[in-house]
Structure 1
Amino acid sequence: MPDQDLSYILNELGEEREQYFRAIAPPIMQSSNFAFKKVEDLRKVFEDEYSNYLYSRGLNPTVEILRKKLAALDGAEDCLVFNSGASAIFASVFANIQSGDHIVSVGKPYTWAQKMFDNVLPRFGVATTYVDGTKIENFERAILPNTKVIYLESPNSWDFALQDLRAIAELARAEGIITICDNSYCTPLYQRPIEMGIDMVLQSATKYIGGHSDVVAGVLTGTREMMKKIFDNELLNMGNGVSPFNAWLLIRGLRTLPLRLERITVTTRKVIDYLKQHPSVEEVIFPLDDSFPQLELARQQMTGACGLLTIVMKAEKMEEIVTFCESLRHIMMAVSWGGHESLAIPRCASLQPSAFNAAEKEHRMIRIYVGLEEAGYLIADMEQAFAAVH
């Protein structure tokens, strides 16, 4: 995306400052309701709530500014913003299936996507097949006559496995299947799946879009026809749109998005260089590192990789990993990523101690998010935490 286009989207698009006293920051339209002077105008909005402001469960002026910016960043016709990433996932899938349909999903998707596939959709007769998404032939074999959706997450958020988005989009289009891709890892600044043929793109705006760990939201982009379909049904019925105040926080986050990603990218490389030479680290997993097995595909699809990486720690006992994580003084132990603060989360936190097996590489993974702190500050914290293990 040309720099001038990005600057226009982040600073001007959707902002009609003459309508609100030439204020530089847009107002928070914290109103649940909107009034009409003409019965005919009210009738028109009853017939099509996507056409004007009626009730903030649907459209809201502050949210409208955000929608325009996020759609433009993705290169999409339209956008919906939800009260969480999980809501965006649920709405995008639920809108495109009915009883008896089949879904093909990349293996080990985001937790709440998998819970939807495993626990919720089977109650409505919808089955899901999981595949190793690194090979296009796995998708080809998994498609059935009743397959309606292919669900992707590229890169995923632990080992950062990629899918060939262009190849899968072409395959799905030939079969009349809707494609959905979770782009939370890259953001629209570093990957634009719609330009590669994907039908709908979602992301957790809680992460880099918000950027300050103070808002939970989800983004879904696609054609205007698809967004209206979802708005008229899933969004309005479930009432899971974003609030005006949270939309305003996300607009604020967008202003500094490029600068934050640039800073995080530089710091992440320094942290990776440190970790790769540390004797307690068996492997560093990062999509744009020279050691990454899908590096060529990553370079084709992504222009950056932000601050999320995984280390495989050399450990014979779970206690060693626990000691490292609990010894960190500045890097906090928490889920998510994309905020100002650096984070770490051990994979073994999802295991009972009796289930830990050092022979399983996955059990020794620690996901690290590099935030906006100085590289030396983070490296020193990790150094003393490693020292505490021995």
Structure 2
Amino acid sequence: MSDFGPYGPQPVDRELPTEESRDLFQLVRELTQREIVPGASAEEDAGRFPRELFRLLSESGLLGLPYPEEFGGGEQPYEVYLQVLEELAAARLTVGLGVSVHSLACHALAGYGTKEQKADHLPDMLGGGLLGAYCLSEPAAGSDAAALRTKAVSDGDDWVIEGTKAWITHGGVADFYTVLARTGGPGARGISAFLVPGDAPGVSAAAPERKMGLKGSPTAQVHFDGVRVPDARRIGDEGQGFAIALSALDSGRLGISACAVGLAQAAMDEALAYAAGREQFGRPIADFQGLRFMLADMATQIEAGRALYLSAARRRDAGKPFAKQAAMAKLFCTDAAMRITTDAVQILGGYGYTADFPAERYMREAKMLQIVEGTNQIQRVVVARHLAGPETR
């Protein structure tokens, strides 16, 4: 990173508990500066998905960090894994988000699979170059995920899956899908989880959505047309799927929180660099109090967001309940990212509105983070339920 004198970006002071984790971060920083940062803007503008980069991340052990070493994972605490996500997202959000989604797709099998299932599938999922996707949302079941209509019907030793999933990150490029489907009656108790190969007959994807940002990350509907899956690929008990899904989302929201902080950090660094070099009225604009206060607010929100997601991660690592804290972190960090990226555009002025600088891309990408893994309105619902109990009817 360039030296911008007294104004410029400073390296993030990471809270890393072990020498191993500090070595890991050295690897991550070298990889991001060599493989991700140089082409990030051009690759996003072109809408290119970095599939080979994800293979490199897998070979480097970065796709299975929070999972057991026994099955090819890195066995790192969430406190460390999330800071790696932040670093990747600061380099290119498509990459940080992709690693978070892959971890989300592995969660069901790692947490609820049998020993045989884990031994059969997890090594390839965590370190074998495979990439996953998580299939919960549907065209008519977004925030109300328990209303999903995709069905899995028992047929001998197999299940036959029919339905359409929507807004699937890595839809059409994933090697495996963790799919939530209805195996029983209506409501949350009739849902089960399945591990579906990406090349299974009957699996297909629609054309990727044309999005405001994250153009390098494919988001698509995924169709399941008579997809036959053996019962050995059902994860957990019948009817346990929705509980598995919610458990995965708690962890996934922490991943989105870390990505949001990484994106916000990148935006602030860009604003600081510009403010140090841009002169008006005979001095750098970083000298002017109005702008300095904007930068101070940005830095404060980033530090607060990082502290919030790390606090939730430590609760998770300690085996304590963390659902409320995960919702709080996702809510705060993504709202902060939206404010910070907007302010970064403002600091760059007219240049911030052009594609010659990454600030406008950061702003477009931040909007998505307020929507995925449960909208921020849903996060407020989750937090309020923890505080005041379920709503009365």
Please, what TM-score do these two structures have when normalized by structure 1? Answer: 0.23
More helix by share: 2
User: TM-score normalised to the size of structure 2?
Assistant: 0.23
